[in-house]
Amino acid sequence: MRFTIFKTNKIFSYLTAKFILAFVLLLVTQLIFFISNRHLFSPVDFGGFMKILWGNIVFGLSTTAMILSPYIVLNVIPTSLRWNKIYKGIAEVFYIIPVFVMLIANMIDAAYYTFTFRRMTSEIFGYLGVGGDMGNLIPQFLKDFWVYLLLFIVLIFVLIWCSRRIVLEKRMPHPYGTTLFKDSILSVIVVAIAVLMIRGGFIYKPLRPIDASKYASCDNTSLVLNTPFCIIRTFGKSSGLEPKHYYADEKAMEKVFTPVNIPLAASDTTAVALPDSLAATQKNVVIIILESFSEEYVGFLNPDNKGFTPFLDSLSQHSTVYQGMSNGKRSIEAIPAILAGMPSIMFEPFITSPYATNKIEGLPQVLKRHGYSTSFFHGAYNGSMNFDAFVQSVGVDSYYGKNEYVADCGDNGYDGNWGIFDEPFLQFMAKKIGTFRQPFFTSVFTISSHHPYTMPEEHVGQFPKGKHPILEVVAYSDYALKQFFAAASKADWYQNTIFIITADHTAPPISPKYSTGYNVYKVPMIVFDPSNDTHIVKNRIMQQADIMPTVVDMLGINERTMSFGKSVINPANPEYHISYGSSAYQLIKDKYYIRYDGQKLEVFDRFADPELKTDISQSDAKAYQPQLNFLKAIIQQYNNRMIENRLTIK
């Protein structure tokens, strides 16, 4: 006779035991998530810990009830079939498979969170698998994250072993009418309890991801949330933007913030010397977007990691260097911000959102009107993250991906995962640029400094290794960049070109400094002009969304642009950084770092309190009100213009 851990002939007791098993296993995956990513969260005192724990219980109960709702319904239907062996077997499928999916989603995020700093949501289905050959990548992921796979297998074993030993015995017969009445009442009670747990208790609105801020600071809400909850609650809700009415008077809002950028060429300012004519300023523009290049990895920007980017360190000595910041944490968020001043300050990336078909104008379109040819290079598979379609929508005429490389150079250089290694692809780019009509605009997005951190065979052992595997590949990408500039410097177009070097987003942090707060957005931002050997380190933020209006001003173009960033060479423009993560808006402006989720507000003095330990939202409200008003103006402009499709200059 099989050993049992729980035996009953009462449906309510049986369902309770099965529910507790699933719920406890979910909490175990939450613990694994915390242990794996504990260095990415802000420390809390005992009271804060207890609130996070209680939040885990509330969200965990809701998730478990949602996942098991079909199973619960099958077991509370007042029918004698519930004791039928075949019926119980079918019902068990509706228990094991949903719990399996629930656990695997949370386990995947335990490993994946370190790359995104946010829980996965249903948006993952919008671009799942478009980044490369998933058939090749999955075995590599399983190899690199084998610990999580092993833990998951153990959890599934525990699930199946325990589930089979929670036994529902056949109930002794009773008068039919009495049994039906009691079962019906019990069914109503069980369903009511399940609905109550799904809602999160006796609350006005059902539990939502944003409610995690009730149990933790905005920096720690991911510790309260669980991934299956986020996926379920956001599924089918990609139209999530709501119109905002912080400002009833639109003219008053425009004075606080407007995405309409007036170029320096149209202003009366004499603070910045402007070229005498547009013809004299038709420099070529090359934007280089480095995959996963955190500020932390660049020696010039972070002396603790000297030795991994010798070329960028050297180039910085002849460039203008800003305090670079990405507007998002994923590659798919970077391209709209860089090329069109369109950060994804909403639930999902612009490219996969319902607003992706909105009419917008990017830097390539602006430059085309002034005689520029336009192109974009990306060594990954054509169609990766829909970049080819997006860049064409903002004015790029020629797209060069893996297909074009293979057609020109063969498949020599394929990394076996994502696409073409940086060195051969950048050489391919340098060769192609030589055929372009000048002036030209082009951009390239590298791929090698990305998990699984593959090195070309001929370079294995050539570059230094660091505390994280990515550093060796960063060193390789830096070398590939050096080879590109060596080839470019021999071309006739080189001296007449402005290079802007940045990154799509940051990557796994090495030191605690880069693990929390706004430091998780710090990337390089280097402006290099070979014809003007200068070395300036600007004590000013330059976010990705600032690039488009800045380039327009650098070229002296007299044309208004639509961007949620500002030209950094116009001294009249405010300095700020905007982002959206963990269901909260984040703003840096002046000395303040603000996190605001529409309900909960946190404010920090980033200069006096760089570790962001003291929330001053209650003590200094009058002082930071202008910055909060600025944030609300951005949100209102962004939401309302996105909804109304008003993202171009009339």
Residues 156 and 296 in one domain: no
| Cα–Cα dist 641/443, whole Å | 27
Note the pLDDT of residue 130.
47
Residues 403-423: tens digit of each pLDDT: 999 999 998 999 888 899 999
Domain limit, last residue, from 176, 200, 234: 234
Domain limit, last residue, from 540, 556, 571: 571
Note the pLDDT of residue 78.
74
What is each CA distance from 559 to 164, 428, 512, in whole angstroms?
Answer: 70, 33, 43
Is 500 among the domain residues? yes
Given a cut of 90, whether residue 272 has pLDDT beyond it is: no
Residue among 612, 615, 611, 619 nearest 603 (CA): 615
Q: What's the mean pLDDT when you consider all of the chain?
A: 89
Task: Kindly state the average pLDDT of the residues 343-350.
Answer: 89
Is 589 among the domain residues? no
Tokens of 569: 């060479």
Place of tokens 């050297």: 314
Is 620 among the domain residues? no
Note the pLDDT of residue 219.
74
Residues 531 and 382 in one domain: yes
Given a cut of 80, whether residue 175 has pLDDT beyond it is: no
Is 602 among the domain residues? no
Going by DSSP bridges, is the β-strand pair 584-589/576-581 parallel, antiparallel, or unpaired? antiparallel
More confident residue, 103 or 89: 103
Is 609 among the domain residues? no
Is 337 among the domain residues? yes
Given a cut of 90, whether residue 44 has pLDDT beyond it is: no
Parent domain of 396: 259-571
Q: How many CB atoms lie within 10 A of CB 499?
A: 19
Note the pLDDT of residue 171.
62
Residues 80 and 178 in one domain: yes
- Contact residues for 373 (Cβ-Cβ < 8 A; gap 6+): 397, 398, 436, 437, 438, 439, 440, 441
Q: Domain total for the chain?
A: 2
Residues 461 and 545 in one domain: yes
Residue type, 612: L
Residues 330 and 469 in one domain: yes
Residues 217 and 305 in one domain: no
CA geometry: angle at 511 spanning 105 and 226, to 5°?
20
Q: What is the CATH number of the domain that holds 522?
A: 3.40.720.10
Place of tokens 């075995």: 139
Residues 221 and 270 in one domain: no
Residues 202-239: tens digit of each pLDDT: 877 788 887 887 888 777 888 999 999 988 887 765 55
Given a cut of 90, whether residue 127 has pLDDT beyond it is: no
* Strands laid side by side in the 584-589 sheet: 576-581, 584-589, 592-596, 601-605
Is 603 among the domain residues? no
Note the pLDDT of residue 177.
44
Note the pLDDT of residue 2.
62
Q: Are 402 and 409 in contact (CB under 8 A)?
A: no
What is each CA distance from 196 to 58, 92, 193, 412, 619, in whole angstroms?
Answer: 11, 23, 5, 59, 37
Q: Which of 274-278, 352-356, 423-427 has the lowest mean pLDDT?
A: 274-278
Residues 169 and 275 in one domain: no
Given a cut of 50, whether residue 271 has pLDDT beyond it is: no
Note the pLDDT of residue 624.
96
Task: Kindly state the average pLDDT of the residues 139-158.
Answer: 86
Residues 290 and 224 in one domain: no
Given a cut of 70, whether residue 364 has pLDDT beyond it is: yes
Q: Are 118 and 329 in contact (CB under 8 A)?
A: yes
Domain limit, last residue, from 200, 234, 268: 234
Given a cut of 90, whether residue 57 has pLDDT beyond it is: yes
What is each CA distance from 157 to 21, 151, 246, 375, 488, in whole angstroms?
Answer: 12, 10, 52, 52, 57
Residues 459-514: tens digit of each pLDDT: 999 999 999 999 999 999 999 999 999 999 999 999 999 999 999 999 989 988 89
Residues 537 and 428 in one domain: yes
* Strands laid side by side in the 536-543 sheet: 398-400, 373-378, 440-445, 284-290, 497-503, 525-528, 320-325, 536-543
Residues 264 and 184 in one domain: no
Q: Are 439 and 371 in contact (CB under 8 A)?
A: yes
Given a cut of 80, whether residue 621 has pLDDT beyond it is: yes
What is each CA distance from 327 to 130, 345, 537, 542, in whole angstroms?
Answer: 22, 8, 21, 10
Residue 400: Cβ-neighbour burial (10 angstroms; 0-12, 13-18, 19+)? buried
Residues 56 and 173 in one domain: yes
Is 645 among the domain residues? no
Stated pTM of the model: 0.83
300-311 CB burial, b ≥16 within 10 A, e <16: bbbeebeebbbb
Residue among 478, 426, 449, 448 nearest 309 (CA): 478
Residue among 309, 258, 230 nearest 481 (CA): 309
Tokens of 439: 């002036």
| Cα–Cα dist 228/67, whole Å | 9
Q: Which of 87-101, 238-252, 423-437, 588-602 has the lowest mean pLDDT?
A: 238-252
Q: Are 394 and 340 in contact (CB under 8 A)?
A: yes
